[in-house]
Amino acid sequence: MKILFLGDVVGVSGRTMVFKSLLPIIKNKQINFVVVNGENSADSGVGLTEEICKDFFNCGVDVITTGNHVWDQKEIMPYIEKENKLLRPKNLHEPSPGKGFQVFSAKNGMKVGVLNLMGNVFMKKCEDVFEATEKFLKNNKLKEDYDFLIVDFHGEITSEKNAIGHIFDGKATLVVGTHTHIPTNDARVLKGGTAYQTDAGMCGDYDSVIGMNKDNSINRFLKKKSIKHYPATEQASLCGVIVDCDIETGLAKNIENFIYGGDLKNSN
C-alpha cells in the first residue's frame, strides 16, 4: 500500500503541473491513494474553486485538504457541504461548512481516514488543536475505524507540528505538515511507526517567495511600491512524501521525500 501526499498547490503553475504529471506518477510509483492540499490553487494563489477541485479529482487526486485560506474563494462554501472528498480543518470553530475528517476507499479497497487539522500559533483563530487531537483519538482507532490514517497538520511553527507528530505516533500512518511551502529535510518513521515530515513543501514555482512573485514580494518587505500578492508563473516543482504502508498494522514501513520537476531538480 503506497500513499502519495502533495503539499500546498500554488496558483496556475502548481495546479497545471499536478494536472499533467499526477497520473504518470501514480502509475510509475504504484500509488494507491493520493492526498493534495489545494488551499492555494486558485489563480490568485489563495483559496480554491469547485472547478479546480473537479480537475484535481479527474487527474487522480482522492482527497483535497485545506487550511487557513479555505474560504478565500466564497463559492467553495456550498460546494464543500456536498463534496466529502474536500476537507477543511476539523478544529475550525463550529458551525463551519464541510467536514474535517472522513474515511475513504483506496484504489485497492483499503479504508483510509484523512484528518485535516490547523495550528493555533500565528494562524487564524480556531479551536485548540491539541484538545481537538485528544478528542479525536478517544473516538477513532487505527485498524478499528480505518486501515490507515493520514493527518495533514496545517501550521506555521515547527514545534506544534513536531508535538502533533509525537502524539499521533503509533496511532496514524502519516503525519505531515503543510502551510509554510518549503520542504523540510526530516522525513522519517517515528519510533511508534508513524511516518512524519514537518512540512511537505509546495507544488509551485520555487523561483519565488513561497510561490508568490518574488519582485513584488521583495518590494512589499522593503515597503516599496507593490501590488496585491500574486503567484509566480514559471514551471512548478511538485513536493510531498510517498509512504509505504504495512497492511497488517496500518503503520509506515518507509517514507521518502518526493520532489518532481521544476527548479528543485530532484531525481524523482
Nine cell digits for residue 257: 521525500
Query: H/E element holding 130?
Result: helix 129-139
Neighbours of 159 (CB within 10 A): 11
Task: Pull the grid cell for residue 9.
Answer: 498547490
Q: Is 181 a catalytic residue?
A: no
Residue 222: partners with Cβ closer than 8 Å, 6 or more residues away: none
50-58 and 11-29 helices cross at what angle (nearest 10)? 20
Q: Residues of 62-77 as b/e, b for ≥16 C-beta within 10 angstroms?
A: bbbbbbbbbbbbeebe
Cα 29–chain centre separation: 19
Which residue reads 486501515 in cell numbers?
Answer: 147
Q: Catalytic pick from 69, 154, 179, 181?
A: 69
Q: What is the dihedral of CA 240, 64, 98, 85, to 10 degrees?
A: -130
Q: How many C-beta neighbours within 10 Å does residue 191 have?
A: 9
Q: Which residues are catalytic?
A: 69
